[in-house]
Amino acid sequence: MLYSEKVMDHFTNPRNVGEIPDADGVGEVGNAKCGDIMRMYLKIEDGNIKDVKFKTFGCGAAIATSSMATELIKGKSIEEALKLTNSAVVEALEGLPPVKIHCSVLAEQAVKSALSDYYTRLGIDPKPIVGEIGDCEDCH
Ligand code: FES
């Protein structure tokens, strides 16, 4: 089996799918090579992630990692959400095949990009943090 049960679970039954119309921060990241796109919406109250939703147009691992990323940051403080790493997402999913690790990087970047947008709206952080997504040659 290529994917762990956890990955299959989050792929077939993704948590927190959708949009937040009055979101406080929205982040969108994409991988130019595989064409996958992830959009993350955050509702922030008193420095905490009150709600989070995502829309991912991408591979199964991209959907599973975005679903898990939302689960990991929901209810947490902004500081904790900023510490979310792709390896924490992979670990929570009980592993990903090496060629799919970059999909988890996309999830980490989507969270950071949404938080960056939140700070931009507050006038604190004028530059969005949109990092380089890892090399995607082995995708698909
Ligand atoms: Fe590129 Fe999954 S995000 S194949």
What structural domains does the chain harbor?
Answer: 5-123 (3.90.1010.10)
Q: Are strands 25-30 and 48-57 parallel, antiparallel or unpaired?
A: unpaired
Q: Is 59 in the pocket of ligand 1 (CB under 6 A)?
A: yes
pTM for the whole thing? 0.88
Catalytic annotation present for 136 = no
* Token representation of residue 28: 């969108």
DSSP 17: B
Helices and strands, counts by H and E, the chain: 5, 3
Radius of gyration of the chain from Cα atoms? 14
Q: What are the pLDDT digits (tens) for 87-103?
A: 999 999 999 999 999 99
Protein residue closest via CA to atom 1 of ligand 1: 34
Catalytic annotation present for 139 = no
Protein residue closest via CA to atom 4 of ligand 1: 139
Asked whether residue 58 carries a pLDDT value surpassing 80, the answer given is yes
CA of 62 to the centre of ligand 1 (A): 6
Smallest CA-to-CA distance from 73 within 19, 30, 118, 111 is with 111
Query: Of residues 46 and 134, which shows the higher confidence score?
Result: 46
Atom of ligand 1 nearest to the CA of 106: 3
